[in-house]
Amino acid sequence: MASQTPLAAPTERDSSILIATWNVNSLRMRWDRLTAWLADKRPDVLCLQEIKMQDADFPTLELHSAGYHAICHGQKTYNGVAILSRTEHGAPERVERGMNDGDPDAESRLILATIPGLNLRVGSVYVPNGQAVDADKYDYKLRWLKRFRSYLDRSCNPSEALALCGDYNIAPGDDDVHDPEVWRDTVICHPDARAGLQALLDFGLIDTLRKVHPEGRIFSYWDYRGLSFPKNLGIRIDHILATPTLAARCQRAEVDRQARKGEKPSDHAPVQVWFGQAP
């Protein structure tokens, strides 16, 4: 998978750490966009969702040439998550794929790793959408959220520096959708889905974008249909959740709307959060 976009040399910037998450909705379709974005933004860590490819097809070598270690938990045609980290921070360690809880679920929706040079544990998360509240897929979504909370209790520590980045397919509050009445009883805003997200937060996680911007409508996803993006008919379902020790270092957070523009974009925009260096 060769890039058609030349990669710029890393540019100087302040000492903050940039962590981002982006549902690319097919890595093959968005490859040129991704490489151009990496060259421009130079994030320290980028979590990807919906890569939609198997591990054997993942462009590990190409990304290394772009200056990134890359690990993935892939799946043919659907789902798939990945973590990219700048090579200067060292190869990812303690890599865990899936929840390893004995459940036969074969969908690739979770990968965690430690970035040694940042002393940081990072997860790329893709929560099921759920399709419709009365569908089996919604029951699967709620079960998945409960399994994820149990995984956190077993495998993570809220006192460590941990960022769980991804497409959660849940809008936490009414400010996170363009029309609360339209979205109220959907799989994105249903009380049970929001309760599942709150259970994750109760583990000891903070919504970093809302820490910086406690009010106002900020969206990360716009449907391809109905001119949703030009009309700003969006929802905020992509989140970077951080433990208190990491969230305390949060300096800035934003959605990169520019990445949603132009030819053949993903229907999601990257969410970016800047953190100060650890003391």
Catalytic residues: 126, 167
Contact 161, 278 (CB under 8 A): yes
- Please report how many Cα atoms fall inside a 13 Å half-sphere around the Cα of residue 278, on the Cβ side: 11
Q: How far apart are CA 274 and CA 23, in angstroms?
A: 19
C-beta atoms surrounding 127 within 10 Å:
23
Return the bridge partners of 167, or none.
Answer: 126, 238
Phi, psi of 99 (to 5 degrees): -95, -10
Burial class (CB within 10 angstroms; exposed 0-12, middle 13-18, buried 19+) of 270: buried
Q: Are 68 and 92 in contact (CB under 8 A)?
A: no
Largest CA distance in the chain: 51
Q: 256 exposed, middle or buried (CB, 10 Å; 0-12, 13-18, 19+)?
A: middle
Helix 191-202 / helix 136-155 crossing angle, nearest 10 deg? 10
Residue 98 falls in which region: left (phi positive, over 0), alpha (psi -120 to 50) or beta: left
What residues does 45 pair with on adjacent strands? 19, 85
What are the structure tokens assigned to 50, written together?
Answer: 């919906």
- Side chain identity at 153, as an amino acid letter? D
